[in-house]
Amino acid sequence: MATLTLRNICKAYGAVEVIKGIDLDVDDREFVVFVGPSGCGKSTLLRMVAGLERITSGDLLIDGQRANDVDASRRGLAMVFQSYALYPHMTVAENMAFSLKINGASAADRAAKVQEAARILQLGPLLERRPKELSGGQRQRVAIGRAIVRSPKAFLFDEPLSNLDAALRVNMRLELMRLHESLRATMIYVTHDQTEAMTMADKIVVLNAGRVEQIGSPLALYNRPANLFVAGFIGSPRMNFLDATVEACDATGVDVRFAGGQSVRVPAVGNALAPGERVTLGIRPEALRLADGPLRGEVRIVEQLGSLTILHVEIAPGVVLVVQAEGGSPVAIHAAVGLAFDPAACHLFNADGKALRPAACQTEPSRAH
Ligand code: ADP
Ligand code: MG
């Protein structure tokens, strides 16, 4: 059982601020994912929670108690690293039992906990091997086993799957989801991979340059990104962005005109916009259809994935839209195509990159920062 609360957490290395005031509540048994590009501060934030890095300012509460000055070993949290960090001279069983031994657990207690972790992770037949006799995926399972035996209040994972090949990553992702389900433990998981974030998280925290861009469920972030950064980061293939100009607006919608193109009416709150203002229209590849519509262009690239076809359509010199069509599309390279979309599925961003929402969505609970 554990809740974690971060209040205005900051981290500076000398004069360089790398974490710039983060507020977050992690509920008991929640699976929270920190996602963001490399260097945005994910590891630093996780290491402050773990107690491996001093918190420059702000408060960390574990189960409601301030924990800033509590030693890492006394926080009751277990961290799993990308690098596995196993002891090479110890067997799998010894690696998993090591922290229990340090803490004075009896041999019988150690053996029982190692057996239970080995059962959960299907490591039974490997208990007497040494790390060098294991595959990457097996090593990572041992590293997770080492965390499980400690029965931590919460698990902290820092890009644990990044060293694995693509197929194994998908397998381990499913294993971690099963683990979360069976242990019913609080977990914080750090990744730069939006697919991992989308598939695993109860709650995603999108980080950028040491700040929170948005916190919400995977679908809240996908359906209602608060800004251009989140819109471009969550969803694959990435959302298309088109420069446009506001022609007219009222309380129910905005008429926008693409550069050199037609205009469409987007049901967004237009009160904050003025005619002539520059905006960005966001359309997800899966929201575009090959049909007569306000956009036309030439197919430049066709990516056949079997169940899907990804088309790259140039609608103006240098302006390419990515279109995701179901199944194997017969459209060939260089074909001239029309693109249609439901204006209600569009996203509109003002010149500051902030999303403008239809009135009905304004009170929804996704937290924007
Ligand atoms: P991420 O895990 O998101 O890739 P990090 O948390 O590792 O990012 O790093 C965030 C920023 O903090 C980076 O710009 C990095 O260079 C900087 N940083 C990390 N550790 C140190 C350190 N010990 N001294 C100075 N800067 C650091
Ligand atoms: Mg990192």
Task: Answer yes or no: do 333 and 350 share one domain.
Answer: no
Residues spanned by the domain of 329: 298-343
Q: Is the CB of residue 99 less than 8 Å from the CB of residue 72?
A: no
The predicted pLDDT at position 363 comes to: 39
Q: Is the CB of 44 under 6 A from ligand 1?
A: yes
Give the C-alpha distances (Å, rounded to integers) separating 270 from 341, 349, 368.
20, 11, 19
Separation of first and last alpha carbons in the chain: 28
Same domain, residue pair 356 and 225: no
Q: How much is the pLDDT for 270?
A: 57
Q: Are residues 195 and 101 in the same domain?
A: yes
Query: 290 in a domain, yes or no?
Result: no
Residue 369 inside a domain? The answer is no
pLDDT digits (tens, 9 = 90+) for 78-118: 999 988 889 999 999 999 999 999 989 999 999 999 999 99
Cα separation, 100 vs 32, whole angstroms = 27
Query: Whose CA is closest to atom 16 on ligand 1?
Result: 39
What is the mean pLDDT of the segment spanning 292-304?
Answer: 94
Q: Are residues 197 and 57 in the same domain?
A: yes
Over residues 12-17, the mean pLDDT reads 96
CATH number for the domain including 261? Answer: 2.40.50.100
What's the pLDDT score for residue 271? 64
Can you tell me the mean pLDDT for 279-301?
A: 95
Hey, whose CA ends up nearest to atom 1 of ligand 1?
A: 39
11 CA: nearest ligand 1 atom: 12
Query: What's the mean pLDDT in 185-207?
Result: 97
Separation of alpha carbons 348 and 246, rounded Å: 11
Query: Count of domains in the chain?
Result: 3
Q: Is the CB of 47 under 6 A from ligand 1?
A: no
Mean of the per-residue pLDDT values of the chain: 92
**164 or 221, higher pLDDT:** 221
Instruction: Calculate how far, in angstroms, residue 17's C-alpha sits from the geometric centre of ligand 1.
Output: 10
Instruction: Name the helix (H) or strand (E) containing 137.
Output: helix 136-148
339 and 350 housed in the same domain? no
Classify residue 41: in a domain, yes or no.
yes
94/8 same-domain check: yes
Q: Over 60: is that where the pLDDT of 366 sits? A: no
Residue 288 is assigned to a structural domain of this protein: no
Q: CA-to-CA distance for 130 and 96, rounded, in angstroms?
A: 12
| Amino acid (one-letter) located at 347 | H
Pick the last residue of a domain from 231, 250, 265. Answer: 231
Q: For the chain, state the CA radius of gyration.
A: 24
| Per-residue pLDDT at 177 exceeds 70 | yes
User: Omega before 294 cis (within 30°)?
Assistant: no
Residues in the chain: 369
Percent pLDDT > 90 in the chain is 79
Residues 90 and 160 in one domain: yes
Query: What is the rounded distance in angstroms from the CA atom of residue 27 to the CA atom of residue 82?
Result: 24
Between CA 252 and CA 270 the distance in angstroms is 7
**What is the structure's pLDDT at 357?**
76
Q: Is residue 217 part of a domain?
A: yes
Check if 327 has its Cβ closer than 6 Å to any atom of ligand 1: no
Same domain, 259 and 331: no
- Give residue 93 CA to ligand 2 midpoint distance, Å: 28
Work out the pLDDT band at 260, boundaries 50, 70, 90.
low
Given a contact cutoff of 8 angstroms between Cβ atoms, the answer to whether 96 and 146 are in contact is yes
- Between 328 and 259, the higher pLDDT residue: 328
Asked if residue 367 has pLDDT above 80, the reply is: no
Q: At 138, which amino acid appears?
A: Q
The CATH number of the domain holding residue 322 is: 2.40.50
Q: What average pLDDT score do residues 34-62 get? A: 98
Cβ–ligand 1 distance for 210 under 6 Å, the answer no
For residue 203, the domain's CATH number is 3.40.50.300
Q: Is 95 a domain residue? A: yes
Whether residue 119 is contained in a domain is answered as yes
Ligand nearest to the CA of 19: 1
Co-location of 160 and 13 in the same domain: yes
User: pLDDT class for 307, splitting at 50, 70, 90?
Assistant: very high
Same-domain status, 42 and 133: yes
Same domain, 120 and 159: yes
Determine the atom of ligand 1 nearest the C-alpha atom of 46. Answer: 6
**Are 159 and 67 in a shared domain?**
yes
